[in-house]
Structure 1
Amino acid sequence: MRPRLVTGLYSAAALAAFGLLFTSCATRTPSVSTTEHSALPTMERVMLNANACWFKSADPAFAGYQLAPELNSYTGRPRILVVDKKHPTGRPSLVVQAEGNPAQLQAFGPMMNGASGGRITGDVNRWAAGTKGC
């Protein structure tokens, strides 16, 4: 089973049966080359790549934000938050979380509806599948 980013209430297993990824429009997802599919290792991969590609690279789309990882989750949903640099305790602009084995990923927040939404979906899917780099 491949980890997939899901926006909405569909499970990754149901989406995998149709071979679709639901975001603002349906697209094909990459093959998974990793052997670890549970929520925590998946989110660790996503967090490391997001930090390197979105924040440490000084990407202009993420210039006003900072990464706030919450991987030690007692709810079984490790997640990363993208928050405003000036108001880091405010409402997150992006939440990417996973749960289960195989991981079911979800991304939501205002950034998903903005100009970067499609790119975020593509990046997270690649990283969840085991691809490294920007």
Structure 2
Amino acid sequence: MRRLPLFMIASLAFAGLLAGCKPEAPKHSAPSQSALDIMEKVAVGANRCWFKSGDPAFKAYSLAPELTSFSGRPRILLVRKNSADIRPLLVVQAEGKPARLDAFGPMMNEAVAPRIRKDVVRWANGAKDC
């Protein structure tokens, strides 16, 4: 029996871990709206409910909306507040018409992930509540 090199075994194990960590994407039901329409609603809701309200779950982060996108994927990013590390911890984006909504990043593997998913879907569907 032929043995696999250690780097191949490690690569396969890492790929398996990544596949198991992919969170479920938020689902919404707004078939006639564009990605930009959806993401404008989500950005307003996130800004109002997560940041302007002083929500403790989001106090360490700041919102970076990127709604004007030439890629056709308007999005919002959450980054660490007052940090030189600009890598996003959460990306919420929409694409296409009807819009397909997606949320990913390290925060989607934390305890706040179900709340993020629920809030994003609610705002994407037009709700304005927090």
TM category, shorter = 0.7 to 0.9
Q: Is residue 2:46 matched to residue 1:45?
A: no
Counterpart-to-counterpart distance in 1, 2:85 and 2:72: 22
Kindly provide the CA deviation profile for residues 59-79 of structure 1, in whole angstroms up to 9, marking residues without a partner as x.
Answer: 011000000000000000000
Name structure 2 gaps, 5 residues minimum: 1-22
The alpha-carbon deviation at position 88 of structure 1 amounts to 6.0
**Conservation of the 8 A alpha-carbon contact between 2:88 and 2:105:** yes
Counterpart-to-counterpart distance in 1, 2:28 and 2:71: 28
The alpha-carbon deviation at position 51 of structure 1 amounts to 0.2
The alpha-carbon deviation at position 89 of structure 1 amounts to 5.4
Name structure 1 gaps, 5 residues minimum: 1-21
Q: Is residue 2:83 matched to residue 1:82?
A: no
Match of 1:57 among 49, 53, 69: 53
Q: Greater helix share, 1 or 2?
A: 2
Find the counterpart in structure 2 of residue 127 from structure 1.
123
Find the counterpart in structure 1 of residue 103 from structure 2.
107
Provide the aligned length of Structure 1 versus Structure 2. 108
Match of 1:70 among 66, 69, 89: 66
Q: 1:124 to 1:85 in 2, by over 3 A?
A: same
Counterpart-to-counterpart distance in 2, 1:50 and 1:38: 19
TM-score (structure 1 length as normaliser): 0.74
**Conservation of the 8 A alpha-carbon contact between 2:39 and 2:74:** yes
Kindly provide the CA deviation profile for residues 73-130 of structure 1, in whole angstroms up to 9, marking residues without a partner as x.
Answer: 0000000000001226511010000010111011001111101100000000011111
Match of 2:112 among 80, 93, 116: 116
Question: 1:2-17 alignment to 2 at 5 Å?
Answer: none
Kindly report the root-mean-square deviation, in angstroms, between the aligned alpha carbons of the 2 structures: 2.2
The alpha-carbon deviation at position 36 of structure 1 amounts to 5.0
Q: Which structure 1 residue ranges, 4+ long, deviate > 4 Å from structure 2?
A: 29-32
Counterpart-to-counterpart distance in 1, 2:84 and 2:55: 18
- The one-letter amino acid paired with 1:23 is E
